[in-house]
Chain A
Amino acid sequence: MSAISQHYERVENTRVGVGLRHEHYAEALAQTSHSVDFLEIHAENFFAEGGVIPAFLDALAEQYPLSIHGTAMGLGSANGIDTGYLKRFCALVNRVDPILVSDHACFTWGHTANQPLHAGDLLPLTYDQASLDILVNNIDRVQQALGRQLLIENIVSYVNHRSDPIQEAEFLAQAATLTGCGLLVDLNNVLVNGQNFYPGNTAQYALNWLKTLPAKAVREIHLAGSSAVAPGELVIDDHAQPVSHACWALFQQAIHLFPGATTLIEWDNQLPTWSRLQEEAGTARFILAQTLIEEMS
């Protein structure tokens, strides 16, 4: 096979998709010609057992390959993952047969005043051996329940982890090695954590972070943008902006490091039009092709 056809095949085989949000449901379903390779849906938005949601989901799954992204599983929860939640998650995965299934390296389940509750947010783990044991056990339980591989995603943390015994990327690498799970690398999250806690050399921090990961474990990349904040304030992971220049630059590095990883544009707030969102995916595909050409030469 020639180098050109190898390049063509690699670009063709790398999926680029977008996150589907409620405001775009009708347009996504009405579109007959698709410019994205897949859609990512948030699992909990499709937990309803009846009504219009399951019917919509089935129609969507007929048109697009789907990936299921959980936002509430709390894989690092010391309390474990709620069994009812896990059943609903598994039922959804079985219904859709998605191309990928993912959630976050964070905790969500806990107690307050002896009352079990769900935190409703992606709360940060302490990166130490005890948290790693908990995360590994929970991932194992979920993968057994699903009967398939789960990807775990790095989060933005508003807590400084510099003094944690294990660095975040190493922590995720160990989780992947111990469980066989895959990794979903959110490049914007790496950059936001770098901006908040490693200012001055964020790009180098992010690149070192990526290089710590076992390349074969990285199966998906998330690209996003965050709103600017005043100097001295923490950057919030709001997914309310186009993919930043820094994120596109890091994406180029990630393409080299993690060949074949699926790519997703994540835009959750202050949503653009459906066509603008697809343009962003087009940009990702262009950068992917261009970077691979550079790699060949």
Chain B
Amino acid sequence: MNVVTDNKPRLSTDLAGHRRTNHHQSALITDIFTQSSLSGVPERALKIYQQNLQMTAARSLSISYPVLQQMVGEQAMFILAQRLLAWEKPATGDWADWGSQLGQVVESSELAGEHPYLADIARLEWAVQVVGRSTVNAFDRASLQLLTEVDPEHLTIKLQPSLTVLESPFPVQPMWQLHRDSHGQHDLSEGLEIIMQNRENTHFAVVYQQHNKPKADVVDQQQYAWLQGVQHGMHLAALLDTYPGIDFAQWLSQAIERQWIETILSPR
């Protein structure tokens, strides 16, 4: 194999040429993303690159947001993808990383009037997408010993970094789960029924990864607040004082089983 082996990059001596190339490439990218014509690339070629971008963006969102796509349909999703391109540019080279702002785009769209819950469905689904691709570290079982050795005032719980809690005026988790489990057999009216049955409450959910798969569960307000407290680094004694309704032994057992916890920490 004749791979170049000197470690020094061979910088071009033609700096003007490099600048010219950089300028042309940036102009073409700008033309594609903003429908301008700075690059001098012929219109019919530009149109193909613009269409490619639109199709790829829409396909990418349909993969990251399968439930939302079921709920709003392919055409609406295509339009949302075009609007999202103006809000959030792909930046990493992996389309799976693009789309975090879709909830805001939905919120500002015509859909929000009749279907105000869709923005929170999008936020839940993005959390599922991110959590499902994140690393989950094995629970440090030895750290359980600290519970018997250290004062709870000096103990904190470290959750998996990807674990996400969400709050919504709508029962988004059951709506999302209904569509996810049924693979598109339900329409928006069934989601509305769930809202009508739960309209008095604020709703809470936790998104996490268990056995390599993302999951979303409903939690009550106290469990939600407890998880937020843990995420913010409250020590165990303060958590127990603030949320006396939480049965810590039961919560801990469930949290370990669901792979929510990385370790229990003591500053010592």
Contact = CB atoms under 8 A, between A and B. Distances in A.
Given A126-B24, A159-B42, A44 B93 contact: yes
Nearest to B28: A123
B136 interface: yes
Interface string B11-39: 11010011011101110111011100000
Interface in A129-180: 129-131, 133-134, 136-137, 140-141, 143-144, 148-149, 158-160, 178-180
A119 B29 contact: yes
Contacts of B32: 119, 121, 123
B94 interface: yes
B135 A123 contact: no
A130 B41 contact: no
Interface stretch (B44-52, B100-108, B192-200, B217-225): B44-52
A121 B134 contact: no
B10 A136 contact: yes
A119 B89 CA distance: 9
Given A158-B45, A158-B48, A85 B18 contact: no
Interface residues of B, number: 52
Contact of B53 (A115, A120, A160): A120
Given A50-B135, A236-B48, A148 B21 contact: no
Contact of A112 (B26, B53, B57, B96): B26
A145 to B, nearest CB: 11
Contact of B93 (A73, A128, A144, A181): A73
A226 interface: no
B57 A120 contact: yes
B9 A137 contact: yes
B93 A51 contact: no
Contacts of A148: 1, 3
B142 interface: no
A55 B135 CA distance: 12
Interface in B181-211: 209
Contacts of A73: 93
Nearest to A22: B63
A79 interface: yes
A229 to B, nearest CB: 11
A206 to B, nearest CB: 21
B93 A118 contact: yes
Given A130-B14, A133-B17, A137-B10, A117 B48 contact: no
B228 interface: no
Contacts of A180: 1-4
A55 B9 CA distance: 36
A113 B31 CA distance: 12
Contacts of A144: 4, 7
Contacts of A117: 29, 33, 89-91
Nearest to A233: B44
Contacts of B42: 159-160
A72 interface: yes
B91 A118 contact: yes
Interface in A54-107: 55, 72-74, 77-79, 82, 84-85, 88, 107
A140 B214 CA distance: 39
Contact of B4 (A72, A179, A236): A179
A27 to B, nearest CB: 19
A34 interface: no
A144 B6 CA distance: 9
11 contacts: A50-B136, A51-B132, A84-B92, A85-B92, A108-B93, A118-B89, A118-B92, A130-B12, A158-B45, A178-B4, A234-B44
Given A117-B91, A120-B53, 17 more contacts: A49-B133, A50-B135, A73-B93, A78-B21, A85-B93, A109-B93, A110-B28, A111-B29, A113-B30, A117-B89, A117-B90, A119-B32, A121-B32, A126-B21, A130-B12, A134-B12, A136-B10
